[in-house]
Structure 1
Amino acid sequence: MKYLLRKIVLYVFIAWAAITLNFLIPRLMPGDPVSILIENMEGRIDASARAALMEAYGLTDAPLYVQYWDYLTGLAQGDLGLSISYHPVPVADIAFGAMPWTLGLVGVTTIISFILGTGFGVLFAWWRGRKTDYVLPALTFLNAVPYFWMALILVLIFAINLDWFPYANAYGLGLFPGWNMEFVRSVLYHAILPALTIVIGSFAGWVLSMRNMTVTVLGEDYVSMAEAKGLRKSTILFTYGARNAILPSITGFALSLGAVVSGSMLTEVIFNYPGVGYTLFRAVQAQDFPLMQGLFLVTSLAVILANLIADIVYIFLDPRTRAEG
């Protein structure tokens, strides 16, 4: 389809631009990773070791286009450089080590929140004018509460005062990661409060946006025509109403999925959860520019991929996009 082909070409160009900026920005900034690393070592390093570090971090006197080609070649092989704060661990190992934690926590909770929020939003739109409208002010309040406030409130109530759940780390101290029931139970137990923070913090926004869009769609002429034909209420609500009202939410959901890779940073920081967001926070604290650069690139590519998936979903939901092809 022409529509999908145009989108793919557009996102390939955006991905190239993100990769190119990721290459240029560190080279335009003052200083370099080796100087920071040597400073952390209190300057105890000889000239040959410094030259080896410069080569390891790709800092050479070669022309910029040669460096750019070497950067693209390394990137194609999954080489994102070496970390400063975790030297000499590769950035790719750190990033992909943190990603499963973020995908497992933030990814799953974002999907759950979207499904519940859009579902209740459709129902609240259908039941508009009834007692369910009294819930809307509470949802508006929840939508206005920042993630970190929600996290702090849940920690204060359930972790400190009631002592029901742990408030830090992704699993119990003394446990080693592995596919065994003790470790899995510990991971699920430690994920309860962070998961509740994300679900409660984003659920209300999905409900309100989906309700407003569905109410607007249900007032359209083609919905009135469907009612005049005597179609079943469920058919009118889901086939004519929800299917068209959900289109703007799909875009928002794609952006949310893309942001999953960077994680809900404040939530991960508060709970010391070892995801991408917390790793990025630690990298900023340590001035670990290669790690920040790698995490920003992974996040950018994730957002691009999520938007491409959303455009593919659009093809199945909106006949107008198929007509363009």
Structure 2
Amino acid sequence: MSRDERGTNEPARIAGLDTLRFLAAAMVVLSHLGPPPLLAGLERTHRVAWFLSASYGVAWNGPAAVIVFFVISGLCIHWPTLTRRPHWPEYFVRRYIRIGIPLLASIVLSSAVGIPYVGLSASILWSLQCELVYYTLYPLLLALRDRFGWRPLIAGSFALATAVIVLVDPRALPYPAYGWALQWVIGLPCWLLGCLLAERIQERPARTNPRIWAFRLAVWLASAAALALRFHSPIGYPWTLNAFSLLVYAWLLVEIPHLAASRVPVFSERLGLFSYSLYLVHLAAWEVFKKYYHLQLGYLVDWALLMALVLGVSYVFFLVCEDPSQKLARRLAKSLRPKPTAPLPTA
């Protein structure tokens, strides 16, 4: 990927990344709230009907979408470092405020509509707890990368994650099965793959790839297979989703240059701007819908109204909370940025 052509030392914005974030957030939402009810009322007595219903059911894998988030997160954190070494006070203030204020606000909102913290933590907050750990460890990880490179670190993190899975609970089915103290270890290889991805795409030219749909189909089929194994076999997400992250890395290595050379819809990029809010508050919006919506207008209409409410609440949350917290983070971080030293006067 090329640098910003405006002559600054800041990295260019990665085209299409907001669209990918929105698609990942939408997959999480649909896995929790339910996909479009296109097969509602279908009798599964016939083999064809059973196959259609089963295939549609495994098409919506929210935990796999979180793995995509992890890889993209590592990419976004490491991307600016490729042009300028972080000033750590500025870095920490910006990271913690951007993620922390909306996170706390979503906990308050969810509690107000009747969602307990324990349920919220098991469904969505576990991934954000991991993110906070990765943000905190990034200076150490960067120092280790300078000495050893990303590949040995990634290999070591996969080995450590596997050791935790084997020693703690090798039969765990959900991905967040190891508690706040160990779950970040399980997801660390996925996040580090994003850091490596940032360096790999840095100088890659923007170009379309005729095989892009093959990559996309492979990612979708792998996510569906992981979901099927999680619910119909003893092989749980801790095993399958870490392997899945390698495929996500290979896909994004092709997808990002492809999107850079394509015309990414402005609409989807704008939707991606509030993908974090969508992730945070979709369960609260769903709770409100269940409590106060008493009409029965048909499967598809009811589902469409639910989705409209979720998007509307998420966008309002973005305007009221997430966007102001981002602006506050930028202002505070800028105030901590070292002032350029004046040149010494010449004789």
TM-score, length-normalised on structure 1?
0.32
Work out which of the two has the higher radius of gyration on C-alpha atoms and give 1 or 2. Answer: 1
TM-score, length-normalised on structure 2?
0.30
